[in-house]
Amino acid sequence: MSASKFLRLTQSRMISAVLGFSLLAPVAFSQAACGPKADDGVLRANVKAGDMPEGADWTGVYFSQLYGYLHLVKEGKTISGKWRTANGDAWGELHGEVIGDLMHFEWTEHKIGMVGPSATSTGKGYFKYERPKSNDSDKIVGEWGLGPNEAGNPWDAVKQQNMQPDPDSVMPDELERRGSGGG
């Protein structure tokens, strides 16, 4: 092989390599910049468990202006809860596991008065238990996601003083459970 032919072949390979890199690099870097996404496109929470604040307990009632009252009950490492949105149009339930100040959960939400596939949504989420430095009430700060996603939508709530959890209190009454009929 002559030197000029070798040089042309080497230049051709270099151009292909540079072109390939310039086309693939933006895709790779944009994926890396999107946060806690896995290769499969699922949003996962990038949080680590820590110690619970002294005297703190997950069991309780938490209030969010958007999601209403969330009633949580912890037994061992498992936790379950129910909520009803502040405007009363949906209620939900969650089940998960607690490690220190971190809870990972799966949730289901039911839209009151609706029937069919769009009446129920499911997903995953997490909460971190926090104690503010001031005399403010403890709170939970986290996110929820639809389907396999564990993140994407904020959910923060303040622990209510002197309220005992009563998960069944958020359940709709018999009239609300009925879906709208066609007529």
DSSP designation for 152: S
For residue 40, is it within any domain?
no
Q: At a CB cut-off of 8 Å and minimum separation 6, what does 73 contact?
A: 59, 79, 80, 81, 165, 167
128 SS3 class: strand
Using only the alpha carbons of the chain, give its radius of gyration.
25
For residue 42, is it within any domain?
no
Q: What is residue 36's predicted lDDT score, i.e. its pLDDT?
A: 52
Distances (CA, A) of 137 to 50, 63, 69, 168: 19, 11, 15, 24
Q: Please say whether the beta carbons of 125 and 107 come within 8 A.
A: yes
More confident residue, 162 or 182: 162
More confident residue, 102 or 20: 102
Q: What is residue 120's predicted lDDT score, i.e. its pLDDT?
A: 97
Average pLDDT, the chain: 83
Q: What is residue 134's predicted lDDT score, i.e. its pLDDT?
A: 83
For residue 118, is it within any domain?
yes
Supply the range of the domain harboring residue 74: 60-177
DSSP designation for 43: B
Query: 95 and 14, same structural domain?
Result: no
Q: Which residue has the tokens 């002197």?
A: 162
146 SS3 class: strand
pLDDT in tens, 53-107: 999 999 999 999 999 999 999 999 999 999 999 999 999 999 999 999 999 999 9
More confident residue, 66 or 14: 66
Query: 161 and 80, same structural domain?
Result: yes
The pTM (predicted TM-score) of the whole model is 0.74
Counting residues of the chain whose pLDDT is more than 90, the rounded percentage is 67
Band (pLDDT 50/70/90 cuts) for residue 1 is low
Q: What is residue 147's predicted lDDT score, i.e. its pLDDT?
A: 96
Distances (CA, A) of 139 to 24, 54, 64, 136, 144: 43, 14, 10, 9, 16
Average pLDDT, integer, range 2-16: 51
Q: At a CB cut-off of 8 Å and minimum separation 6, what does 52 contact?
A: 58, 100, 101, 129
Query: 75 and 124, same structural domain?
Result: yes
On the question of pLDDT at 32 being above 70, the answer is no
Backbone angles phi, psi at 103, to 5 degrees: -120, 130
Look at the chain and report how many structural domains it folds into: 2
For residue 49, is it within any domain?
no
Query: 151 and 94, same structural domain?
Result: yes
| Lowest-confidence segment of 52-56, 157-161, 171-175 by average pLDDT | 171-175
Residue 130 CB burial class (10 angstroms; 0-12, 13-18, ≥19):
middle
